[in-house]
Structure 1
């Protein structure tokens, strides 16, 4: 059944979505968004305050403290109004008020006088000439109403009108004059607004001296209240400005963070409720949106810092979603644990956890980015819902930033568990020191500062413990190529490397050298050295499937000689796919799997391509059939291993690997990879490529250094060595006996003028007597100097063939000897030099007497002198010994020091005689070996041509 159009459209959409989400940038963006949301949620949860259901007058069963600094608005407003009310008003003088007051007074007095005249007329009509009857008369309602109608500018009550109507003309005249004068005088002064009543009272006192009391109270006072006005008016604008300034000077009533607002078992007041409402601590109340917006903004700033640092120092992380996922996971874990730890103590937050984790899992650059980002996050978390930047926040920021950098420097070199634990201890000390320094500047309580320092140190140590616990989980979850994992994979005991060593030893050793090359090159271009080494170890594990099809593992026939070149190319190119299968089977990190598939890129196997071309004749051969099917290197490490693999295999085939030839060959090989485009997708510059070439050259010059040619031993020389070894043991024992006798002689006769008599030495062979007789042929020698002591060896000297000539009072002339070992004796020193006498060679084990030391050493001869303090250069024959100064070293080895036995001696050391005999010529044995038989010619040594054995590696 054919799919419908809708099904095709749906499938096309699904395919487009899969392709979209397969883009690394898309997945990285999704990881960032999800991580940002999680961080924002954790932050808002951490700073969200607890809410309460309270009303005015209710009893609170919990002591409620301020989550941040809050202003008591009610108390503050009351105090500000009090301050404003205490401000004196600002006045403005109004000159027109005086004229207006006097005019009004004149008009009122005119109407009052008219009304008084009306009353006087009625009284005269009713009771003419009777003052008492007039005074007792009560005006009726009609009369009063008429009188009130005459007073349009003044309103008087009935009893006041009665007083005015009963007033006499003289009273009215006196009142008018006094009142007018008083008002005029007072208006020439200042009357402030608001002080009119005080002015009226003052005028009443002035006028009251001459005015009847009833008239004063009922007529004068209403007139004053009507006409009096202040001439100093309040300037409302200026006064309000002064009052506003006064309000501003009042500090707000603030409850600090942590201060109790409502105490348990107390009634809630209006002021307290308003403060709780402003803090957002009441149920069904508005949420403090700005607090949460600010927290989210700080989280976004932290993520921005993270991305900026990653872009500047390790931009490849932005193209690897799983690495970004690990970074965001570490940040979320750190923030989540910090939120819980803050409930106990704010200094217990393990802010260094993400730094330690990312440095040990990914590297120091990622750790540095996390350190800066976490500093912003925990700074916001420590501030929380506070409105002030407290010393506590400073402490948290400093410990996170400085402690994080210290952890970064400690963990980055050795990201193992021991180093992480050490990092926890060191950062704990650093954090505690920072808390103490800041605390002593801002806090006077030693107990509080010490407690904060202990909490901060515990947080750093806890971060290290959590890192040790979480790192293996993250590594296993993401199959991560962390530094510790790479160090673990670099262990030669890894199962794959053990298999490689046993089943494909040539490939194993090739991988070791490639690893050395890759690590040196990675260091030169600032790539991941651990990844380069581990990737080089495993890059050819695919050869385990068919090890004998690769040249380095072939000990006999080459199976490719009997195989079709197409098949051979398929077998060789398949080792990258086979290696990927093995890498997945052994759960190697993805980075190493990529190196396995990319270290050959899509290069062709030219050997089999040329072979196929030769076999095909004129037929065309497609080079694509001989190419590897892997991707070209995408990382620095993969590109480095590709070049190292090519260089190591090619340089090994050089016939004459001189330093200059190696360097030129490396550049040629690398240039070929560049020309083929294999490095086009790797993040390498031409300068990086040049540095890689130099690093390769440095390593390979050390691998292919020159070596000296070691000698081979002929059968005759081997026989002499064996004979000397057998004789040395016996000579060693006899020398020890001889030395003991000489020490006893030295003890018994310390001041003797002549040396002690020689002790009889057991001859090692019958030729010892013949050697003693031959010594008498030499020139006569003088007695040794007074006080001279015989020399006795504590242990046998170095292997010698010739005895040491006895020194005399005067040094003998040196006998001419060649530098090479010859069978010539050293002339015995005497008063006059004796000519050397050639003697037949003594038997190999013949014992020869040793001469006593003289005051001065013999003159330099062809053989080096024997020193009792310091051995000279190795020689085949020893010369005369000096008690004061050894002779200069020459081409022949000297005897070893007398205190320590050296190589086996061919001759035992004879005891010193009173008169030493002349030396007997002895043939020289190579490397201190005695001759098997007397040499036919004393002047020629018994040596053979030396050649190094073939097929062996010799050390320098």
Structure 2
């Protein structure tokens, strides 16, 4: 089943409104399925304590959370605790010890208190911590001591406390510092009983002055943990080398980068879906603009584009396997410019450029998985992008076969320059053999592009009824059998057609229509006259007019039939539909005025509709311009002594008549475009029917005759 028959079946099944979206859906599925393998990391079948059979690289950039958390924990644990040193501690503690001696002195001055109540009195006046630190025996010893001994004891304890707390004392150092102070008590100055009391006072007075700061320690550990850089596994980083043992750490890293079969990540599927949706939306907008410009349903062009696009995506996917051959630069043979060149020839340049950008992105992501450098391969993406842009932009003007061959050479040259540029940018050392292979494959890419282009153009023309510039140029060859038929059987019609072609081509180019199509269609538009050539005035070289002996109705039948006879001849010769349509429509539903008024003059009761062409009216800009050019050329040629003023007035009247008669109601020709077309045709006709200069010989001949 041909693509067009398949499309017609789809349209009958689901209707016209949904056909385009079905094509978009199929295109999206092809793109998604071809790219999904590149988005997903390669799964490995490895187990603990296996030996790696090859170097395993990370296909993505990932963070090893477990290793990062372990480093943070180690950093936190290795951070020392924070302590706060209080220099005022010695003064405070001396003051507290002084309070003890003051209380003892106060109680001793109270003569009314007995010895049993004296201890209780001391405890009641001491602070709670001092009362707990001193035993009853110590308090009793201090109460029994002489005032002089108390003063000496106070001075000794104050000095020892000052000396002990002059340095930083932590809880872990407290016992050592207290013992050192006790050992410093002078034995010769104090007795044994007082010494025991002073030991308790020193244990009470000497306290840590360099204490643990919980808040500062917590903050310090948090700062240390947060300062740890995440453990990253970089794209292309070798996780394990060939021959090394698969350890638990290696398995963990393989799982992090998604290379284990037991690890499924849905994110790449979602990301690719978003990418494909973006591409389809962009293409839908492009075809919407194309429809607005052409004014036609674009399903046929969309189907052709979908086939070209899908084939090139499959070609990119297949080209990735060329990297597996390890032949240096073999992937450069990819004829990516083929797709954009065909799109440029059959559709338009803007769509070809947009497609080039898409091909570049797809190639970059598709080749990225093969090179094992991650999702993207910028080198291949850039090569495909520029090569595709060359195919979309280099060809200009009439796309003849020599012009296409020249384009192929330019594409090859462009590809070779891209390869050289990429090698220079990489700043790597290359072997001469590798450079030679790269350039040869890049050159062959352009060669293959042109060979495939020339081979596929007839396929697309036949399958989709598309009309390429090459086909139009071939049809414009004067040696074409149908053109020779017109020349030999209706020479006047042939000359008229050539003039119409010149008028129509220039007018179409002025309004942005297809000038070449208008020219070629004009060559064939009156081929129906070859069936009865002598019934048309331009072919009546002997001056005999057969219509003089026919009724107006019979003459009308002969004249009106020529557009449809011509369409039948063109169909029999399998001519393009666009040319057949213009031949059939070039008179629209206009009135055959001469024979209509002749019938009226003969007193016949006739209707105007009986003398109108059956139509259809012109459907395209090119058909409208050919109709105008045909009418104007015939009318101006029949004028006697045409002058610029007469020509201008005649052309204006024909334009007004066609507008008032509604002949352009079914095509998208605007009034502004009509104005531009009229101006172009007027200038051309004035150039053809210019006034001649009388030469001296002619003047002399007139004088001689006058004599």
Q: Name the TM-score class by shorter chain.
A: 0.7 to 0.9
Unaligned runs of 5+ in 2: 1-8, 98-131, 134-154, 187-198, 324-330
CA contact (8 A) 1:512 1:537 kept: yes
Residues of 1 paired with 2:74 and 2:540: CA distance?
A: 105
Cα distance, 1:321 vs. partner? Answer: 1.7
Structure with more contact order per residue of length (Cα contacts < 8 Å, sep ≥ 6): 2
1:342 to 317, 320, 345: 320
The 10-residue stretch of structure 1 (396-405 or 623-632) with the greater mean CA deviation from structure 2: 396-405
1:511 paired with 2:497, answer yes
The structure where helix makes up a greater share of residues is: 2
Residues of 2 paired with 1:694 and 1:43: CA distance?
A: 53
Residues of 2 paired with 1:210 and 1:465: CA distance?
A: 111
CA contact (8 A) 1:359 1:415 kept: no
- Tell me, what secondary structure is at the counterpart of 2:43? coil
Cα distance, 1:638 vs. partner? Answer: 1.3
1:573 to 553, 560, 572: 560
CA contact (8 A) 1:361 1:475 kept: no
Cα distance change of structure 1 residues 503 and 368 upon mapping to structure 2, 3 Å threshold: farther
Cα distance, 1:641 vs. partner? Answer: 0.8
1:703 paired with 2:688, answer yes
Residues of 1 paired with 2:180 and 2:332: CA distance?
A: 78
Match of 2:424 in 1: 440
Cα distance change of structure 1 residues 270 and 708 upon mapping to structure 2, 3 Å threshold: same
CA contact (8 A) 1:506 1:553 kept: yes
Match of 1:31 in 2: 23
1:57 paired with 2:43, answer no
Residues of 1 paired with 2:603 and 2:242: CA distance?
A: 101
Residues of 2 paired with 1:669 and 1:496: CA distance?
A: 30
CA contact (8 A) 2:51 2:244 kept: yes
CA contact (8 A) 2:83 2:210 kept: no
Cα distance change of structure 1 residues 550 and 374 upon mapping to structure 2, 3 Å threshold: farther
Match of 2:632 in 1: 647
1:671 paired with 2:671, answer no
Residues of 1 paired with 2:301 and 2:649: CA distance?
A: 39
Residues of 1 paired with 2:55 and 2:386: CA distance?
A: 38
Cα distance, 1:524 vs. partner? Answer: 1.4
1:275 paired with 2:253, answer yes
Match of 1:356 in 2: 341
- Tell me, what secondary structure is at the counterpart of 1:411? coil
Match of 1:608 in 2: 595
1:232 to 188, 191, 212: 212
Cα distance, 1:677 vs. partner? Answer: 1.7
1:419 paired with 2:403, answer yes
CA contact (8 A) 2:360 2:384 kept: yes
- Tell me, what secondary structure is at the counterpart of 1:67? coil
Cα distance, 1:497 vs. partner? Answer: 2.1
Residues of 1 paired with 2:682 and 2:74: CA distance?
A: 89
Unaligned runs of 5+ in 1: 1-14, 106-152, 155-176, 212-218, 713-819, 821-925, 927-942, 948-956
If the length of structure 1 is used for normalisation, what is the TM-score?
A: 0.56
Match of 1:498 in 2: 484
CA contact (8 A) 1:74 1:271 kept: no
Cα distance, 1:519 vs. partner? Answer: 0.9
CA contact (8 A) 2:595 2:611 kept: yes
Cα distance change of structure 1 residues 91 and 564 upon mapping to structure 2, 3 Å threshold: farther
CA contact (8 A) 1:302 1:376 kept: no
Match of 1:21 in 2: 15
User: Structure 2 matches for 1:231-310, cutoff 5 A?
Assistant: 231-234=211-214, 235-247=216-228, 250=229, 252-257=231-236, 259-289=237-267, 291-308=268-285
1:326 paired with 2:320, answer no
CA contact (8 A) 1:515 1:534 kept: yes
1:598 to 578, 585, 600: 585
CA contact (8 A) 1:302 1:377 kept: no
User: Structure 2 matches for 1:655-666, cutoff 5 A?
Assistant: 655-666=640-651
The number of residue pairs the alignment matches comes to 626
User: Structure 2 matches for 1:800-879, cutoff 5 A?
Assistant: none
1:677-699 Cα distance to aligned partner (Å, 9 max, x none):
21233333333222212222333
Alpha-carbon RMSD across the aligned residues, in angstroms, is 4.8
1:482-527 Cα distance to aligned partner (Å, 9 max, x none):
1111111112222322333333333322222111111111121121
Cα distance change of structure 1 residues 601 and 98 upon mapping to structure 2, 3 Å threshold: farther
Match of 1:582 in 2: 569
Residues of 2 paired with 1:387 and 1:297: CA distance?
A: 23
Larger radius of gyration: 1
Residues of 2 paired with 1:495 and 1:631: CA distance?
A: 27
Match of 1:779 in 2: none
1:629 paired with 2:614, answer yes
1:485 paired with 2:476, answer no
Cα distance, 1:86 vs. partner? Answer: 4.5
Match of 2:107 in 1: none
Residues of 2 paired with 1:579 and 1:360: CA distance?
A: 28
1:438-478 Cα distance to aligned partner (Å, 9 max, x none):
54344343559947666555544443343233223222221
1:2-28 Cα distance to aligned partner (Å, 9 max, x none):
xxxxxxxxxxxxx9x9598246xx543
- Tell me, what secondary structure is at the counterpart of 2:394? helix
Cα distance, 1:232 vs. partner? Answer: 3.5
- Tell me, what secondary structure is at the counterpart of 1:654? coil
The 10-residue stretch of structure 1 (80-89 or 581-590) with the greater mean CA deviation from structure 2: 80-89
CA contact (8 A) 1:84 1:246 kept: no
Cα distance change of structure 1 residues 62 and 442 upon mapping to structure 2, 3 Å threshold: closer
Residues of 2 paired with 1:631 and 1:666: CA distance?
A: 23
Residues of 2 paired with 1:597 and 1:322: CA distance?
A: 22
Cα distance change of structure 1 residues 64 and 596 upon mapping to structure 2, 3 Å threshold: farther
If the length of structure 2 is used for normalisation, what is the TM-score?
A: 0.74
Residues of 1 paired with 2:703 and 2:645: CA distance?
A: 36
CA contact (8 A) 2:61 2:232 kept: no
Cα distance change of structure 1 residues 365 and 230 upon mapping to structure 2, 3 Å threshold: closer
Cα distance, 1:96 vs. partner? Answer: 11
1:743-774 Cα distance to aligned partner (Å, 9 max, x none):
xxxxxxxxxxxxxxxxxxxxxxxxxxxxxxxx
1:524 paired with 2:513, answer no
CA contact (8 A) 1:93 1:232 kept: no
Cα distance, 1:481 vs. partner? Answer: 0.6
Cα distance change of structure 1 residues 209 and 103 upon mapping to structure 2, 3 Å threshold: closer
Match of 1:118 in 2: none
1:864-889 Cα distance to aligned partner (Å, 9 max, x none):
xxxxxxxxxxxxxxxxxxxxxxxxxx
Cα distance change of structure 1 residues 262 and 516 upon mapping to structure 2, 3 Å threshold: same
Cα distance change of structure 1 residues 209 and 98 upon mapping to structure 2, 3 Å threshold: closer
